[in-house]
Chains A and B, each alone.
Chain A
Amino acid sequence: MTAKTHKRSFGRKLWLQRGLILMSVPLLLHRILFSYVPLAGWTIAFQDFRPRFGLSPIQQILQNEFVGLDNFKRLLDGASIIGERFLLSVRNTIGQSLLTLVLGYVCAITLSLLLNEITKSIPKKIIQNILYLPHFLSWVIVAGLASTALAMPGSGGIINEILMSVGILKEPIHFLANPNSFWNVVAGTHLWKTLGWNTIIYLAAMTTIDPTLYEAAAIDGANRYQKMWHVTLPCIRPTIIILLIMSTGWLLTSGFEIQWFLGNGLNVTHSENIDIFVLRYGIEMNNFGLATAAGIFRTGVSIFLLTMVNFIAGRLGQEKLF
């Protein structure tokens, strides 16, 4: 195909799809307006910014003093208390996210495989509905439930009560006073809330698998587990990989409500993540410069991670996102 015909066919394609393109214009405008225009606000990160009433956004930025990279230096200076705290919050964010990610993936895929094996439609629907329910609760409610469930037995700590009544524990465990268990708490609450919902996409992928593959496997003498392992899993692999790549973009976001409501002085070394740090040392202190700098840091690292993982996936001959 020559360049000329290619060009013509592109123009023709454009003309043929003009309806679709027109339809995408509002979304594009929405993207530009709400995702790119606000990037102008990043200038705040290089300022000692104080909002003042009665000024336009541009005047707001002009009236404040530029301080160069000071905000970034404060954040990343591990020798100072603030820097130490920020780096700790980065560590916690990544730790919480990774644990949530790994646990969430393994469990969601396993559960989808199991659900896929249920052939009777009514029990399957009932089970699925029950599994989806927690997804519709707001995080604030989940945090409240978790905080009560993890408390001591006298305050409604149902987890301790159950573990003690079946004899696994003799003394109640004070979960929220133990910093080392906090990442588990985050991963556990995420699992409880999102597990059922996350199976939807895998189940959808499984419905597209060609039934003849199963028939062929059966003729070859494969049992149920072998069919799951050798047919279902390889067929949904592209979905799994694309979702994994997309998730790496969210590694520096590990949620807010659980950490905010369940965090306390005793577990702060493992509970404070970037969002909490930004709220406490940025927004609550009216220090928007520091808060924005932390946000830019997060965006930068996220884009880097996403690109790297996407590149590696391509190199390994797997599906790529872009």
Chain B
Amino acid sequence: MRKSSKILALLLVAAMFISAACTTGTDSGAAPQESGGGPVVLSPDNPVTIPIWFTSGQMAPAPDNKISALLKERLGVTLEYDITTPDLQDQRIGVMLAGGNLPDILGPTDINARMVNGGALLRLDDYLDSGDYPNLAAHVEPYRKKLSWTGGGVEDGLYIFPNYNRFYGDPPLLSGDYMGTGFFIQKAVLEHFGYPDLENMTLERYFGFIEDYMAEFPEIDGQQTIGFTFPAFDGREWGLTNPPNFLAGNPNNGGVIIADDGTATIYANSQYAYDYFKFLNEAYAKGLVDPESFTQTLDQYEAKIATGRVLGMHDQRWSFGNANDSLVQQGKDERTYVATMPVFEGKEPWYADFDVMNINQGLGISASAENPELLLTFLDTLLSEEWQIILSWGIEGEDYLVDENGMYYRTPEQRTNADSITWRQSNRLEALFDIMPKRQGTLSNGNALERQAQPIEFFGRLSEYDKNFLEQYGKQTWRDFVNDPPENPVYYPAWQIQLPDGSDAQVAQAQLDDAAIQYLPLAIMADPADFDAKWKDYTDAIDRIDVAALEAVFTAGVQERMATWGE
């Protein structure tokens, strides 16, 4: 008895030491093959395993994924995925920096670029200038200045390849879907009122449609009709707070309005905001605004829209994408939405903007990587048109077909396949493609890189209802419903300007969000007679916040961009 307990104790101690040793001992970098400069040739004869970490809402591919198999077969590369969801990224990055054990390829989408200024990424300028990575070099060349980090902590330079909105082709082929901001309204409502003109939209007209339709149809499919809702939960507070900015005819700069000289001013307590929320308060009193708008979670919000009983939302189109897909799958095309762009009197809508490159988000190489040349060669290879087509369209003959003009298209069956998450897990590398640099726009053979941007794919997928709807409005695509974006200002968008960690500006930003989600609902739900008192509570709360610090950082950032990017 006593003997066995001793053995057990010894085993426990041994196990502890072994596990302690293991945590420091596993550092599986890419196998160095030709260390020291020069291009590396990736081949199946030289198999390598590359650990990669990134932030994405997409899941890692299934083990039997056919594109993973192709990467191994042609390049000898096996990727070891470690994916963090966006909501956990802040915590994960802190742990990774302090822990000091990094995968070889890193893909943060952190707007504050903590991996860059924390010294975790490799400066890439010398590698790009070496000429060994032509695809990557050409990808960033026109935008080197914009993409270069100048925020301190490390030497100025390029650290991250952006994952979205570097467009190829003139003009680039863009998707017919509009994924941006708007006051969305159900197609059925517009159909009911005989496809009214959507130009010169105002809040009064928008809510007028909703009110009249609700009066006639208090229930949709047996459930109570909901007039208007929006996301206000953590991370998407802008569903509640952004409208005053758009109503005032400004592009999306986040929480500030930028004057021509680059001065940033918050609009949370402006006259525009007062006018909008006063209007919303009256709409609420009429029963047009969903009282659950302020308490619902993302799931509840999406589920609600997917029932088809919500007539309108202020949101960004991608944000309710799942609900939209669900409506389409149920065959309720008339319950899907188009964007409208109400503005205050005398203002021009600027809801849609030119898609902007996201800076400080995308892929970079770890500062501790043993063989950066190999990793860059791998990324460069994936950025070639050949691999881009495989990653986006799949394999010719299997996932898409080519017509006599060389244009790619898919059969209905191939489209259905791609709608299934399980199929995509085994046949696409969606998570990787999400974080990777991409040749968005037009490929050299005239096709669009993105399937949804291929005209034949867009028009081929339109339902009869949608075709008729577009015809009634005399428009080609959903993008035609929104404004033609004016050219972006040089500094645009200001929301990309980072607020340094620990700064008063960063705290002020969080406190402004907190004040909005705490006081605005009270004001909106108040008796219209009490609105002014509740509004004063809100502006009083803002007056206590160090707004000047926040505005100063934005102003400095915008003016610096105007000076350095301006020429």
List residues of chain A with CB under 8 Å of any chain B CB.
19-20, 22-23, 25-26, 29-30, 33, 48, 50-57, 60, 81-82, 85, 144, 147-148, 151-152, 154-155, 174, 176-177, 261, 264-266, 268-269, 280-281, 283-288
Contacts and interface: CB of A to CB of B under 8 A. Distances in A.
Contact of A283 (B90, B291, B545): B90
A261 B233 CA distance: 10
8 contacts: A23-B8, A50-B501, A56-B100, A147-B297, A264-B233, A266-B522, A268-B514, A286-B94
B517 A174 contact: no
Interface stretch (B132-140, B408-416, B504-512): B504-512
Interface residues of B, number: 55
A155 B291 CA distance: 12
A48 B98 CA distance: 15
B332 interface: no
Contact of B292 (A54, A151, A261, A288): A151
Contacts of B90: 283-284, 286
B286 interface: no
Contact of A152 (B13, B291, B510, B525): B291
B79 to A, nearest CB: 22
B300 A288 contact: no
B114 interface: yes
Contacts of A287: 501-502
Contacts of B296: 151, 155
B516 interface: yes
Contacts of A53: 96-97, 100, 102, 115, 118-120, 367-368
B517 A264 contact: yes
A155 B292 contact: yes
B457 to A, nearest CB: 35
Contacts of B521: 177, 265-266
Contact of B91 (A50, A152, A283): A283
The listed residue with most B CB atoms (<10 A of its CB), out of A33, A54, A148, is A54
Interface in B93-146: 94, 96-98, 100, 102, 112, 114-115, 118-120
A57 B102 CA distance: 15
B6 interface: yes
Contacts of A155: 292, 296, 300, 303-304
Contacts of B13: 25-26, 29
Interface in B493-528: 501-502, 506-507, 510-511, 514, 516-522, 525
B223 interface: yes
B12 interface: yes
B178 interface: no
Given A23-B5, A50-B502, A266-B521, 4 more contacts: A152-B291, A154-B223, A264-B295, A269-B518
A151 B2 contact: no
A30 B233 contact: no
Given A53-B97, A265-B232, A280-B510, A177 B294 contact: yes
B224 interface: yes
A283 B516 contact: no
A85 B525 CA distance: 24
B192 interface: no
B9 interface: yes
The listed residue with most A CB atoms (<10 A of its CB), out of B94, B119, B233, B519, is B94
Interface in B384-424: none
B502 A48 contact: yes
Which 3 pairs between the two chains have the least Cβ-Cβ distance?
Answer: A265-B517, A53-B120, A26-B12
B511 A174 contact: no
Contacts of B300: 147-148, 151, 155
A48 B503 CA distance: 11
Nearest to B291: A174
Nearest to B8: A23
A52 B292 contact: no
A88 to B, nearest CB: 11
Contacts of B223: 154
